[in-house]
Structure 1
Amino acid sequence: MISRSNTRNDIMSLETAAAVARGGFACIFSSSDEYERALIKERRARGRYIFSRGGWSTTILIALLITIVGMVVYWT
């Protein structure tokens, strides 16, 4: 037969473990907006949002324009 003191201790131990586990999920941000601002700030600090000029985007745009002009000339 299980003694009451062991059962009570087990229950208290489980409640303590649950409280500790819930505390691990606590968030340091008070709102999602605050989280987003911090995330963007950190990414900017790492250089993630730096816009690179030139490169493939200009080349693709020119190729697209030439293709459209070529189609218009071909169909008229």
Structure 2
Amino acid sequence: MDSTRRRNSQAALMSLEAAATSARGGFGCRFSTSEEFEMALITERRAQGRYDQRRMRWPAIMFIGCALIVAGTVLLFG
């Protein structure tokens, strides 16, 4: 009976030590500097397509339209 209890407590202790070692390993950072972290973050976001250069044409069209209206007004009243 005593040897069974000793084995169970020893197994529990070894399991606890293994869990503690595993938990300590989880706190380590895989990046040594903030530059490495930022570079990895940007690379991942580019892979996801977040930094695509989709140009909106509406601002340019609106600017040209307003410029034509202003030019027409100047020519009309000038």
Larger Rg: 2
Compute the TM-score of the two structures, normalised by the length of structure 2.
0.49
Compute the TM-score of the two structures, normalised by the length of structure 1.
0.49
